[in-house]
Amino acid sequence: MLKKKDKYVIAVVGATGAVGNEMVSVLEERNFPMEKLRLFASERSEGKTLNFHDKTVTVEILTEKVFDGIDIALFSAGAERSLHYAPFAARAGCIVVDNSSAWRMDPGVPLVVPEVNPHDLKWHKGIIANPNCSTIQMVVVLKPIHDAAKIKRVVVTTFQAVSGTGKKAMDELLHQTADFLNFKELKAVVYPHQIAFNCLPHIDKFMDDGYTKEEIKMVNETQKIMGDPSIRVSPTTVRVPVFRGHSEALNIETEKKLTANEVRSLLSTAPGIIVYDAPEKNVYPLPTICAGRDEVYAGRIREDNTVENGINMWISADNLRKGAATNAVQIAEVLIKMA
């Protein structure tokens, strides 16, 4: 467990990537109690610098021996590097909060969203997993509903921004949009089809049953985070031509009847949620509204008249913040409170 201190030595691994950059920004914004910040990346990024509290921090090369003296390391360097380096960090007494898929379904590693299951941090063994971005924003909303009425089934369709793939995908959308508007040929490199002015029902690899790995993640991770394998999740994940901010259409079936107003009341008092729901005034969650924010926005809340106990809603969240960086920093904050 983390030793109680006034200030901590924190590392960001994969600091030059989109999520790594966001982790540094979130640490600064939230005034994390920090003695020192260390930044790590691959050899390609050695010597680069990032600003932190009006100081310049130089990026170091990641090796197996850098973790001595580091209290918490926020990893966002991909599954392969996490699988290799996280055990070295844990053996050095550093607690790893990993943003990749590497450890999420390991039964010995807690998968945590602080608004949902902070208690699972009590049994970590040096490595903690940050869930998939689309799962995080969904379970934040599901938690208060499940506590009140027990969720039986969720049908979810995601509308995921290209920043979830990374900077190259964002560049591809930008270039394709410019080329389209200038009547030039569009080149697709990151995705199998053009993403500009298009929707791709294809995120990650297809499995033998026709679902994608992204969809399977949402099923398995939801059940693990919520601590209830009886919750059935039927997902379809879609990549859309949005730079930042994931949205999701949720159809939730519960054992106990909840009215739309009761759901609004539940969500309005739950942590990490903003009820943004006045469609008659064109008020509903949008990626542009949630960008740069840490909350999950919920709206279009209405009863599903085709089932006995059903609720429909639309949610949006910043996938680089609550879907990744902010959730990781919040985990670190809970670890400090528990120390």
Q: How confident is the model at residue 298 (pLDDT cuts 50, 70, 90)?
A: very high
C-beta of residue 234 within 8 angstroms of C-beta of residue 102: no
Catalytic residue status for 246: yes
By CB atoms closer than 10 A (0-12, 13-18, 19+), residue 47 is exposed
Write down the catalytic residue from 133, 193, 199, 202. 133
Task: List, for residues 177-232, the tens digit of each pLDDT value.
Answer: 999 999 999 999 999 999 999 999 999 999 999 999 999 999 999 999 999 999 99
312-325 per-residue burial string, b: 16 or more CB within 10 A, e: under 16 = bbbbbbbbbbbbbb
Task: Quote the pLDDT of residue 245.
Answer: 98
Q: Rounded to an integer, what distance in angstroms lies between the CA atom of residue 76 and that of residue 87?
A: 15
C-alpha of 336 from chain center: 21
Q: How confident is the model at residue 60 (pLDDT cuts 50, 70, 90)?
A: very high
C-beta of residue 296 within 8 angstroms of C-beta of residue 323: no
Q: Is the pLDDT of residue 254 over 90?
A: yes
For the record, the structure tokens of 58 come out as 């130089």
Task: Quote the pLDDT of residue 302.
Answer: 98
Catalytic residue status for 133: yes
Task: Quote the pLDDT of residue 42.
Answer: 86
Beta carbons within 8 Å of 330's beta carbon, 6+ residues apart = 114
Side chain identity at residue 6, one-letter code: D
Q: What is the mean pLDDT of the chain?
A: 97
Picking from 124, 69, 117, the residue whose alpha carbon sits closest to that of residue 98 is 124
Matching fold, domains 8-130+324-338 and 135-319: no
Cα–Cα distances (Å) from 74 to 14, 26, 134, 296, in that order, read 9, 12, 19, 22
For the record, the structure tokens of 255 come out as 């054992």
Q: What is the CA radius of gyration of the chain?
A: 20
118-131 per-residue burial string, b: 16 or more CB within 10 A, e: under 16 = bebbeebebbbbbb
Task: List, for residues 15-38, the tens digit of each pLDDT value.
Answer: 999 899 999 999 999 999 999 999
For the record, the structure tokens of 271 come out as 């942590």
Q: How confident is the model at residue 303 (pLDDT cuts 50, 70, 90)?
A: very high
CATH architecture of 8-130+324-338: 3-Layer(aba) Sandwich (3.40)
* DSSP-derived 3-state class of residue 112: coil
Cα–Cα distances (Å) from 24 to 13, 246, 262, 319, in that order, read 10, 21, 38, 15
Q: Which residues pair with 249 in a beta bridge?
A: 157, 314
Taking the CA atoms of residue 313, residue 319, residue 323 and residue 327 in that order, the dihedral angle to the nearest 10 degrees is -120
Q: Is the pLDDT of residue 13 over 90?
A: yes
The residues spanned by each domain of the chain are 8-130+324-338, 135-319
Q: Is the pLDDT of residue 43 over 90?
A: no
Task: Quote the pLDDT of residue 9.
Answer: 98
Q: Rounded to an integer, what distance in angstroms lies between the CA atom of residue 113 and that of residue 278?
A: 28
Write down the catalytic residue from 124, 146, 246, 290. 246
Give the pTM: 0.95
Q: Is the pLDDT of residue 47 over 90?
A: no
- Mean pLDDT over residues 35-61, rounded? 92
Q: Which CATH class is domain 135-319?
A: alpha beta
For the record, the structure tokens of 319 come out as 């996938």
Cα–Cα distances (Å) from 8 to 57, 123, 236, in that order, read 16, 21, 41
Q: Rounded to an integer, what distance in angstroms lies between the CA atom of residue 335 and that of residue 152?
A: 32
Q: How confident is the model at residue 45 (pLDDT cuts 50, 70, 90)?
A: confident
